[in-house]
Amino acid sequence: MYASTAKFTAAMERNGIRYSYQGVHSNTKCEIVIVSYASESMEVIPVVFYFTENCEDVAIYVFDLARVPSEKVAAILDVINCQNRKNRYVRFYLNPKENTIELAADACFRESDVGEICLELLWRVVAVCDNAYPEFMKALQA
């Protein structure tokens, strides 16, 4: 396990957070850790962490927040842009292959603060998804 991944998983264990370690992804050489959170507006928010081999950064994703019918793409793009203006540390986008809304975030760190930074980002990602999801659903149901 990469040092950065180990420090994050240790921080989660200290805080009683359950996670799933997926190992090294063969195409990217990133180690993958998935944390599934329940929230007020969503049944589950699966937050996926991709730790790089150099142990200096992480990419964070939440895939498939919502499926977007073709006729709603223009409307949902306005809501995505609005959310991107509101939220400084993350970005939402529409995956054109799947027509799904996704969230992405990136962070760099030093070896000494990996656990704390990634825990903070986990909580922020969950909070942002929890707040944005009702707005996405409102636009999709309009």
CB atoms within 10 A of CB 9: 21
Q: Which SS3 state, helix, strand or coil, does residue 122 take? A: helix
3-state SS, residue 51: strand
DSSP state of 41: S
User: Exposed, middle or buried by CB within 10 Å (0-12, 13-18, 19+), for 71?
Assistant: exposed
- Global pTM? 0.92
- Please enumerate in sequence order all residues whose Cβ is within 8 A of that of 92, keeping only pairs 6 or more positions apart, or say none: 65, 80, 83, 84, 101, 102, 103, 104, 132
pLDDT digit string (tens) for the chain, length 142 residues: 989 999 999 999 999 999 999 989 888 889 999 999 888 888 899 999 999 988 889 999 999 999 999 999 999 999 999 999 999 889 999 999 999 999 999 998 887 789 999 999 999 999 999 999 999 999 998 8
Residue with tokens 């944005």: 132
